[in-house]
Amino acid sequence: AKQGQQHKVELSLLQQELAHLHVREGGADGQQQLREAVQQLYEELDEQHQIREDERVCSESEVRELRKERDSARDRLQNAQAELRRLKAEAEAAGGPGGPRAGRRGEKHGQQAEVDRLRQVEEAKRAKVLELEREQESLAANIGLISSQLMLADAGAGTSAIGAEALVAKAAELERQIARVRESCQQHRQEVGRVRTATGNAQVVSESLRRSYDELQKISDDRVFRVPQGP
């Protein structure tokens, strides 16, 4: 703008100088040449002014576009940073005490502890069944021994009736003990079956909780890694 104003001043001075020359020298040809020269200078000045105006408009437009891109990039960065902070807060809350992921982890550990406890109970019940079976075998062997003694008593002429009755009573008592042992053994076998079923069910629940916890952990990690880190 300053350069254009300077050109106008120079043209005005030149026009005045040429007018003075025309007054001194006179003549129509000189005046016509003066007018043509002045007109040409004005046209060149207008052309240069238009070029500078176009350049200014283009430059301002480019600056506006660059500012828009800068503002858009800054907004995207701020949004990404806000999303990252939110996801980190969610991840910390999920992993902290009372969070859903911590809750799932606690449920998983608690269920696994229950599975381990049921397995120990099952092993103890099995051991008790084996013990009762051995006791049953021992009682059966004792009954066999008493039966042999009764047979010998019947065959021997000198055996008293009191001794035979005692052996019979002993055999009857052993049979009752065998019956009780068999019943107890059967009850323990049934208990082993129930414990085995409970263990299987607890194992299924524990596996489901483990998969749920792992999936929650994977989703949380993927969401955190998917957001770009801010400066």
Evaluate if residue 98 carries a pLDDT over 50.
no
Check if the beta carbon of residue 206 is closer than 8 Å to that of residue 111.
yes
Compute the mean pLDDT over every residue in the chain, rounded to the nearest whole number: 69
**Other Cβ atoms closer than 10 A to 198:** 16
> Residue ranges per domain, the chain?
2-89, 100-226
What band does 111 get if pLDDT is binned at 50, 70 and 90?
low
Angle at the Cα of 217 from the Cα atoms of 211 and 219, rounded to 5 degrees: 100
Evaluate if residue 177 carries a pLDDT over 70.
yes
- Altogether, the residues listed in the chain come to a count of 231
- pLDDT tens per residue, range 34-80: 667 767 777 777 787 788 877 777 777 777 777 787 777 777 777 77
Overall average pLDDT of the 195-213 stretch? 73
Share of residues in the chain with pLDDT > 70 (%): 53
How many Å apart are CA 186 and CA 18, to the nearest integer?
A: 136
pLDDT at 167: 67
Overall average pLDDT of the 176-186 stretch? 78
pLDDT at 31: 62
Evaluate if residue 230 carries a pLDDT over 50.
no
**Other Cβ atoms closer than 10 A to 113:** 12
Q: Report residue 54 CA to chain centroid gap.
A: 56
How many Å apart are CA 38 and CA 11, to the nearest integer?
A: 7
How many Å apart are CA 146 and CA 177, to the nearest integer?
A: 14
pLDDT at 104: 53
Which CATH architecture best describes the domain 100-226?
Orthogonal Bundle (1.10)
- pLDDT tens per residue, range 125-162: 777 777 777 777 777 776 666 666 666 555 554 445 55
Evaluate if residue 21 carries a pLDDT over 50.
yes
